[in-house]
């Protein structure tokens, strides 16, 4: 089975236009208490029930798409008894797909957070595993950082734009949602109207010049906040990421949609210069807890063959077996020399 996301390609922004009114992003939930990872039941460390799994689809897809559902079925097959929760913003497939293009990402996360905390199983689980495709990956990471009551254990992302995108690619000829979104982007990427309504604009990040980066820091509605790049840092974001067991980032070797493709590994790319995550201030000063997580072997960089969102069962099956499962599961450190217990 080939899993092909129905992601529409984004239109190249030919120019940067004048900035309109600012739209600073208010954090979703400030100073929340971290939900500790704990045994699945009191005194029962041998419980073999897998942790629930959140799946968040990508741009142009929906929670009910056959490809997404087949991935959930595979996760249940690899770890029998897994409760799979398909994140949705819209109530049906059409409205959910539209919400991948249009909406305020912070408000969308508030909705997902409320639904998880109201769910009788998800809200009482000791932790949650998570699987994000394309933009769904950085949204799940943001959810894990922002949402009180949610602690992620293993987060797997495929082709996600953790360090943002620097270009918008061309839409398909009949993809009218994409065409409508791109028409808005030609107005002003940094206007409060666009930043509050157009989803891809909320993870656009251009470090080409000091001016373009400062615009991003001042006006970004989503990414600058969840990456803790502004001067005032959110300490809870660091706690939540540092409290995970695994953050596994898959980069597609031939990715032509996520630009630059190295954003999937949290790299900083500026022209021909590329700075890997471990050499960035975001890591060395540990703005997000990634350095803390890396010290216990939890940060992992993986590659997937092919273009954006071209996946097969073999790779997914291996990943699900390695990183998902019961609360008491032990994980190999990246160098394979030792294993670490769950927190």
Catalytic residue among 25, 61, 191, 308: 308
Please confirm, yes or no, whether 160 is among the known catalytic residues. Answer: no
Beta strand spans in the chain (E) = 2-4, 53-56, 84-86, 128-133, 152-158, 246-252, 268-270, 273-275, 299-304, 310-312, 331-332, 339-340
Q: Which parts of 176-280 fold into alpha helices (H)?
A: 176-185, 192-195, 210-219, 223-226, 235-242
Largest Cα span, the chain: 60
Catalytic residue among 98, 134, 191, 245: 134
pLDDT for residue 187: 60
CA atoms of 206 and 279, how far apart (whole Å): 19
CA atoms of 307 and 67, how far apart (whole Å): 16
Catalytic residue among 255, 264, 286, 294: 255
Q: What are the tens digits of pLDDT across the range 259-316? A: 999 999 999 998 888 999 999 999 999 999 999 999 999 999 999 999 999 988 999 9
In the block, residue with structure tokens 């495929």:
158
Please confirm, yes or no, whether 162 is among the known catalytic residues. Answer: no
Q: What are the tens digits of pLDDT across the range 39-67? A: 433 444 457 999 999 999 999 999 999 99
Please confirm, yes or no, whether 255 is among the known catalytic residues. Answer: yes
CA 269 to each of CA 93, 168, 205, 249: distance values in angstroms, whole numbers, following the listed order: 35, 16, 10, 17
Q: What are the tens digits of pLDDT across the range 133-145? A: 999 999 999 999 9
């Amino acid at each position: 089975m080939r899993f092909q996301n129905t992601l529409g390609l984004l239109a190249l922004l030919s120019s940067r236009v004048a900035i309109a009114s600012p739209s600073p992003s208010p954090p979703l939930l400030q100073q929340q208490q971290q939900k500790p990872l704990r045994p699945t039941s009191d005194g029962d460390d041998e419980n073999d029930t897998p942790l629930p799994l959140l799946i968040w689809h990508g741009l142009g897809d929906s929670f009910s798409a056959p490809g997404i559902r087949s991935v959930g079925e595979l996760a249940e097959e690899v770890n029998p008894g897994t409760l799979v929760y398909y994140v949705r913003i819209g109530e049906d497939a059409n409205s959910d797909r539209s919400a991948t293009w249009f909406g305020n990402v912070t408000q969308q996360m508030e909705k997902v957070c409320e639904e998880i905390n109201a769910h009788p199983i998800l809200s009482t689980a000791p932790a949650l595993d998570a699987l994000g495709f394309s933009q769904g990956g950085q949204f799940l990471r943001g959810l894990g950082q922002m949402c009180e009551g949610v602690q992620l254990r293993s987060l797997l992302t495929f082709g996600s734009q953790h360090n943002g995108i620097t270009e918008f690619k061309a839409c398909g000829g009949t993809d009218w949602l994409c065409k409508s979104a791109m028409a808005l982007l030609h107005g002003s990427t940094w206007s409060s109207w666009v930043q509050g309504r157009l989803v891809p604009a909320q993870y656009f990040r251009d470090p080409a010049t000091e001016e373009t980066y400062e615009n991003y820091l001042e006006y970004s509605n989503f990414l600058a906040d969840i990456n803790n790049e502004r001067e005032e840092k959110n300490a809870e974001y660091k706690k939540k990421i540092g409290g995970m067991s695994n953050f596994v980032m898959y980069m597609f070797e031939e990715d032509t949609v996520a630009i630059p493709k190295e954003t999937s590994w949290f790299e900083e790319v500026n022209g021909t210069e590329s700075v890997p995550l471990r050499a960035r201030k975001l890591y060395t000063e540990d703005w997000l807890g990634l350095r803390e997580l890396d010290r216990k072997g939890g940060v992992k960089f993986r590659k997937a063959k092919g273009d954006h969102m071209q996946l097969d069962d073999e790779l997914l099956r291996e990943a699900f077996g390695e990183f998902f499962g019961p609360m008491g599961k032990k994980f190999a450190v990246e160098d394979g020399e030792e294993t670490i217990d769950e927190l």
